[in-house]
Chains A and B, each alone.
Chain A
Amino acid sequence: EAGVAQSPRYKIIEKRQSVAFWCNPISGHATLYWYQQILGQGPKLLIQFQNNGVVDDSQLPKDRFSAERLKGVDSTLKIQPAKLEDSAVYLCASSSVGGGANVLTFGAGSRLTVL
């Protein structure tokens, strides 16, 4: 079974520039998550999709961050304009809920450095 694919793995931009991250979840997984992990901290949930609908985006800074999941498969997370504090690893995860369990499968992450 193929894992969760993310790209790019690394991105360096200057503040006020824009960036986009792409995620391809495991085939058949209805739920997709984007997390932000700042160095030394645990992952922080930004947005949760169920198929192509948003379940929770309460922690997404909507003035600069946007995310979409067209056709309920791939997803894109965009930041525009970027700030220094956006430097982090952006993790994508997907899951298929069963038996009350929600085990997440994570991608390797996209590391963003904002200069």
Chain B
Amino acid sequence: SQELEQSPQSLIVQEGKNLTINCTSSKTLYGLYWYKQKYGEGLIFLMMLQKGGEEKSHEKITAKLDEKKQQSSLHITASQPSHAGIYLCGADLGGGFKTIFGAGTRLFVKA
């Protein structure tokens, strides 16, 4: 969706390195979701952010929401091969719980 822009499109990192993925919305965010998708599988929910300045962490993954900038970032610390996959941000931009997604960031982790 052009309403949600993700960067970078793909990323190759060495195992153990940190990385950041960004998601920028063209509209006001009512809720920002991060999902992960492995090849050939459905999406798995990671985290949801609702308020500006909110930050959540799960294991080595941290997500932040900058409401004023209509932007969210996903940061992975000390990447592992298990982190490889496609990370997608999703948002309910118009209310009504109609969730749209960005194009995704493809992460490759070199062992």
Contacts and interface: CB of A to CB of B under 8 A. Distances in A.
Interface residues of A, number: 28
A91 B31 CA distance: 21
Nearest to A4: B42
Given A55-B98, A108-B42, A109-B42, A42 B1 contact: yes
A75 interface: no
Contacts of B107: none
A91 B43 contact: yes
A68 to B, nearest CB: 19
Given A42-B88, A100-B31, A105 B45 contact: yes
Nearest to A111: B40
Nearest to B44: A106
Contacts of A45: 98-100
A102 B99 contact: yes
B43 to A, nearest CB: 5
B92 A102 contact: yes
Interface residues of B, number: 26
Interface in A80-115: 91, 93, 95, 97, 100-109, 111
Contacts of A108: 40-42
A105 B42 CA distance: 9
A24 interface: no
A14 interface: no
B1 A91 contact: no
Contacts of A93: 42-43
A104 B100 CA distance: 11
Interface string B71-89: 0000000000000000010
A51 to B, nearest CB: 13
5 contacts: A43-B88, A91-B42, A102-B31, A106-B35, A108-B41
- Listed from nearest, the 7 A-B pairs whose CB atoms lie closest are A106-B42, A42-B101, A102-B97, A42-B103, A106-B43, A43-B101, A108-B42
Given A42-B88, A106-B42, 8 more contacts: A4-B42, A42-B101, A42-B102, A44-B1, A56-B96, A93-B43, A107-B42, A108-B41
